[in-house]
Chain A
């Protein structure tokens, strides 16, 4: 019987089985940002411990960083305090730090892959649940809490139970206007927001084979929204081509050697899985969430569900979601008016996302009552987009063009919804209050669908715009 990639990577990184029954797992790459790390460095200092392998941790700033202001000290005193903390911590420990002055700052899950730090067969950890993103390369990547950030800094290991493995196969072909975001939303809609607890998701089949690395990252990113802490795609030529020539990728003969190791780490053809799910690519429509978690999602041509459709606490969940969203059961989701449009986040802020959004926005005009903003995932993405003239397209269509950061995905900086505004968002979470206003309402969708909604002023089927 063969092994899955999960099995192989797990074995290669196992330090030992701990007395508590979990695995002590070595972490090959540790990524750190300003928000979930200061307490970890503090805990380390309190115990008199040092950073064991400073060359295996890389830091950047993304969560709290303003996207419309670059002069220090920041107007926001708490942001400034957080910046000073991470600057001191990396200075004292010797951890490489990609701040704005390096031209390589950005959302941690955008810059890891972009710099070639993220590679197949690695274990990766970061104090952020969307660390699953890096699984796009065939890495096993975990979101961890702050105490575990401390553990990685001190020992380069974490205590963790090995997950089971569920293979999710999507065969066939996606229709025009259907994107990676729609695929993962459809998967979460089918398996639920808790369906993946205890599992790693292996994404397999024609649809993932055909995806670019940017698209695979979008899918793996939202594994955690389906409850799966880890999600991955087996590494292939698409991944190897992406890695070729990146700053931290192996070079020359070393690259050839690495390519062999990366190829071998992929799941064997006769590997056993704990569970299998199959979905037809043709069945997936552009998806839009109607509720307060990413599993509350329908196709853009579907109707908003009714509490009457289900029983018990699920009925209460739907009613509660509809009350918050102020949406009517049984109504079409298409045509829902929006106030804000946000293209960005670790899910959908890469160059291909911006290209798709720009293609839809081009020639359109965002209505005056809609606030639309585009926040590139990294300084490099921003530079690349500007070289292609995407910023001009967005500005001409009435979008704001910002600096790199997490921005309105979680609204830790000044980019926030106000009152009960409705936001068409390319981010990953439609939780109550997520975008900075307790009453705010988030509709998750692909970047192309966000651009379509921005221009139309309401939720609209991007397939119709493309055809029209």
Chain B
């Protein structure tokens, strides 16, 4: 990320986490929602899956240590709206996610905290995951503006909705500053809603 918040490129190595419908309870179990801060979440991403795999989960595999790009399958991040899920990934070093598809609230939460989520067709996800598994040291580079992902000699053309792409490239992925600009327009909507200002007598 540049100083002005623009996110145009993400570079680093990758980590594949295979499986469809990996929900946010699996990304960060609810017991970690008991903290009143996000700061300590990083080490706990995928904690229960990791325990059950006894060190065989990609997040425990030394070959993928320090990875910045998470590569997943279909409907990643389904379920709970907990922002703790992308916060845990981000604090664990993940800067971008490439997947076949994402759940809606998770996708929005990622955008708001500056993690681009790009999509590729299933066969190309499989190819990218296999490539990373075979050569974990492969340097990945994501051009957020164009959606081009370079992985060693291979390239992939990923998709990102135009509005979201624009938000990253312009540095306005955290919408709050834009929202704050509409002060008068907010008041105008507030003042025209009868359930707020009072129902007219009939």
A interface residues with partner B (beta carbon < 8 Å): 12-16, 18-22, 24, 26, 28, 35-36, 38-39, 42, 47, 49, 52-53, 56, 63-64, 78-79, 81-82, 85, 119, 121-122, 127-129, 143-148, 150-151, 154-161, 193-194, 197-198, 224-225, 227, 229, 250, 253-258, 260-261, 292-293, 313-314, 316-317, 320, 410-412, 429, 431-434, 436, 438-439
Contacts and interface: CB of A to CB of B under 8 A. Distances in A.
B195 A257 contact: no
A39 B91 CA distance: 15
The 5 closest A-B pairs by CB, nearest first: A21-B163, A159-B175, A145-B83, A145-B109, A438-B48
Interface of B: 19-21, 23, 25-26, 29-31, 33-38, 48-49, 51-52, 73-75, 78-84, 86, 101-105, 108-109, 112-113, 122, 161-164, 166-167, 170, 172, 174-176, 178-180, 182, 185-186, 188-190, 192-196, 198-202
Contacts of A155: 176, 179-180, 182, 186
Nearest to B36: A38
A452 to B, nearest CB: 27
Contact of A26 (B101, B103, B193, B201): B193
A47 B25 CA distance: 30
Contacts of B166: 19-21
B189 A15 contact: yes
A67 B38 CA distance: 26
A15 B182 contact: yes
Contacts of B175: 18, 20, 22, 151, 158-159
Contacts of B33: 35-36, 63, 412
A26 B190 contact: yes
Contacts of B51: 438
Contacts, number: 228
A331 B84 CA distance: 38
B199 A254 contact: yes
Nearest to A406: B30
Given A128-B81, A147-B113, A432-B48, 6 more contacts: A13-B189, A78-B34, A255-B199, A429-B23, A429-B25, A429-B80
24 contacts: A22-B175, A26-B190, A28-B193, A35-B33, A35-B34, A143-B105, A144-B108, A146-B84, A147-B113, A155-B179, A158-B175, A158-B179, A193-B78, A194-B74, A194-B75, A194-B103, A250-B199, A293-B78, A412-B33, A429-B79, A432-B26, A434-B25, A434-B30, A439-B52
A257 B20 contact: no
Contacts of A127: 81
A278 B29 CA distance: 36
B36 A81 contact: yes
B21 A317 contact: yes
A225 B176 CA distance: 28
A317 B170 contact: no
Contact of B36 (A82, A147, A434): A82
A24 B178 contact: yes
Main secondary structure of the interface of B (DSSP, over half): helix
B179 A145 contact: no
A157 B78 contact: no
Contacts of B102: 197
Contact of A314 (B20, B104, B198): B20
Given A121-B195, A147-B113, A197-B101, A16 B78 contact: no
Contacts of A411: 30-31
B179 A258 contact: no
A217 B30 CA distance: 24
A151 B166 CA distance: 20
Contacts of B192: 12
A24 B175 CA distance: 9
Nearest to A438: B48
Contacts of B49: 432
Contacts of A320: 19
B77 to A, nearest CB: 11
B186 A52 contact: yes
Q: Name, among A16, A79, A229, A320, the residue most crowded by chain B CB atoms within 10 Å (CB to CB).
A: A16
A433 B108 contact: no
Contact of B179 (A154, A161, A316, A439): A154
Contacts of A82: 34, 36
Nearest to A160: B108
Contacts of A432: 25-26, 48-49
Contact of B30 (A16, A81, A314, A410): A410
A320 B19 CA distance: 9
Contacts of A194: 21, 74-75, 78, 101, 103
A145 B104 contact: no
Nearest to B107: A197
Contacts of B112: 145, 147-148
A293 B21 contact: yes
A84 to B, nearest CB: 9
B38 to A, nearest CB: 6
B163 A22 contact: yes
A20 B81 contact: no
Contacts of A229: 104-105
A18 B81 contact: no
Contact of B20 (A24, A121, A317): A317
A16 B185 contact: yes
A439 B189 CA distance: 49
Contacts of B79: 129, 224-225, 429, 431
Q: Name, among B81, B84, B86, the residue most crowded by chain A CB atoms within 10 Å (CB to CB).
A: B81
A155 B181 CA distance: 9
Nearest to B179: A155
A20 B164 contact: yes
A390 B52 CA distance: 41
B202 A253 contact: yes
Given A129-B79, A293-B21, A433 B34 contact: no
A161 B163 contact: yes
